[in-house]
């Protein structure tokens, strides 16, 4: 691959990052929608911790790579779904068809959590750290509705020494008198409707449209943060008593880029093993697999097959996530809901 080709790809990545998609992209949000929606804070009856890493477009130098840590838990001394009709015996599958026949919604409660996401794209890096809060309202015997907010800071940095210009005698005005990094406030909102089988939610990240500039030149006004909108829904179907299928869909809008649509399917066996697939319009096909190792640990992996023009130079994308279920008092392999 020629040097000029690398530069073209780098410019493409930078333009996408600066003027459209500014937050990282994930394939396994299906198993951790909390990354995108703060209304999920405290939805489980244990502390849900996840640590993940994504290598996007492997084979391309300076392509995006993302690391994240998330944790959320319910507030209060009482565990959720404490009555006999809404919790299985220790070690039973909480998502089995028999259990779902007796599912009852959780009582109204509060939840909170924290997220930290570090993303690198060539010379650009970004750290987003947020504290989240959600209130879960009991709508009926089967449904809950939660509303959540995420607030924190974003640190955006540019490694000016890593930039190479065709004409070394001139300096791009956007980085003249360069600023190495900048700290911006961050704010997001979300809503989440859920029952034993169905979930649907909407959220917005980066509500505060902060100016992004690495120069002290007041005439430079090209860079700014833009809101990221997400809408998702899914439903769990039972093929038999131990095998379930969960189709879901995600719509993402980040102006001025066209809307992105993901269609997903997860097949689960006793919620102990699962495999799945995902299609992102005009971008990729993905294969996913996971295992609940124990009542404490679960592990998931995804591989994206690139279908865009980048497939000529990319070896696809890899994503791996380790989940930890702290204070899992009912000792089930996975009390995580259908996603």
pLDDT band at residue 6 using 50, 70 and 90 as cut-offs:
very low
CA separation for the pair 148, 110 (Å, rounded): 10
Convert the pLDDT of each residue in 244-266 to its tens digit.
Answer: 899 999 999 988 778 889 999 99
The reply to whether 194 falls in a domain is yes
- For residue 14, tell me if it sits in a domain: yes
**pLDDT surpassing 60 at residue 69:** yes
How many CA atoms, within 13 angstroms, populate the side-chain half-sphere of residue 194? 24
The total number of structural domains that make up the chain: 1
Q: How many CB atoms lie within 10 A of CB 330?
A: 17
Of the candidates 235, 143, 236, 145, the one whose C-alpha atom is nearest the C-alpha of residue 190 is 145
Percent of the chain with pLDDT over 90: 36
Q: Return the CATH number at 76.
A: 2.40.160.40
| Within a domain: 35 | yes
Residue 112 covered by a domain: yes
Local confidence band at 293 (pLDDT 50, 70, 90 cut-offs): confident
Task: Tell me the per-residue pLDDT of 92-143, one tens digit each, with 9 for 90 and over.
Answer: 555 566 556 667 788 889 999 999 999 988 778 889 999 999 999 999 988 9
Q: Look up the domain containing 185 and give its range.
A: 3-326
pLDDT greater than 70 at residue 275: yes
Confidence of residue 63 (pLDDT cuts 50, 70, 90): confident
Q: Per-residue confidence at 13, pLDDT binned at 50, 70, 90?
A: very low
Q: What is the pLDDT of residue 304?
A: 86
- Residue 335 domain-assigned? no
Of 181 and 113, the structure prediction assigns the larger pLDDT to 113
CA distance 215 to 178: 5
Task: Please indicate, yes or no, if residue 47 is contained in any of the structural domains.
Answer: yes
Q: Which pLDDT value is given to residue 51?
A: 96
Residue 257 lies in a domain: yes
Which residues, other chains included, contact 222 with Cβ-Cβ below 8 Å and sequence gap of 6+?
174, 213
**Measured distance CA(270)–CA(323) in Å, rounded:** 18
Decide if 334 is inside a domain. Answer: no
Mean pLDDT calculated for residue range 76-99: 54
Q: Which residue has the higher pLDDT, 23 or 329?
A: 23
The model's pLDDT over 18-51, given as tens digits with 9 standing for 90+, comes to 444 577 888 888 888 999 999 999 988 888 999 9
pLDDT confidence of residue 98: 57
């Amino acid at each position: 691959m020629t040097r000029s080709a690398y530069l073209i790809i780098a410019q493409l990545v930078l333009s996408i990052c600066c003027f459209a998609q500014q937050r990282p992209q994930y394939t396994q949000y299906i198993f951790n929608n909390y990354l995108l929606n703060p209304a999920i804070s405290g939805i489980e009856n244990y502390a849900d911790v996840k640590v993940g890493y994504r290598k996007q477009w492997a084979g391309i130098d300076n392509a995006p790579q993302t690391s994240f840590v998330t944790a959320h838990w319910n507030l209060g001394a009482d565990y959720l779904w404490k009555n006999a009709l809404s919790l299985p015996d220790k070690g039973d599958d909480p998502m089995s068809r028999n259990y779902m026949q007796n599912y009852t919604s959780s009582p109204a409660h509060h939840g909170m959590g924290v997220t930290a996401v570090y993303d690198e794209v060539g010379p650009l890096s970004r750290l987003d750290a947020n504290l989240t809060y959600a209130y879960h309202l009991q709508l009926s015997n089967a449904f809950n509705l939660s509303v959540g907010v995420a607030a924190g800071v974003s640190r955006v940095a540019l490694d000016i020494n890593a930039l190479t210009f065709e004409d070394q005698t001139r300096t791009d005005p956007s980085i003249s008198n360069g600023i190495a990094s900048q700290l911006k406030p961050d704010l997001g909102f979300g809503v989440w409707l859920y029952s034993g089988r169905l979930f649907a939610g909407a959220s917005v990240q980066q509500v505060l449209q902060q100016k992004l500039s690495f120069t002290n030149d007041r005439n430079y006004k090209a860079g700014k943060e833009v809101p990221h909108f997400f809408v998702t829904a899914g439903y769990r179907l039972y093929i038999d008593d131990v095998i379930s299928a969960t189709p879901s869909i995600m719509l993402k809008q980040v102006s001025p880029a066209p809307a992105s649509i993901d269609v997903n399917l997860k097949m689960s066996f006793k919620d102990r093993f699962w495999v799945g697939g995902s299609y992102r319009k005009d971008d990729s096909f993905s294969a996913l697999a996971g295992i609940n190792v124990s009542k404490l640990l679960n592990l998931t992996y995804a591989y994206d097959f690139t279908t865009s023009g980048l497939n000529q130079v990319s070896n696809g994308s890899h994503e791996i996530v380790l989940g930890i279920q702290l204070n899992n008092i009912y000792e089930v392999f996975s009390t995580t809901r259908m996603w």
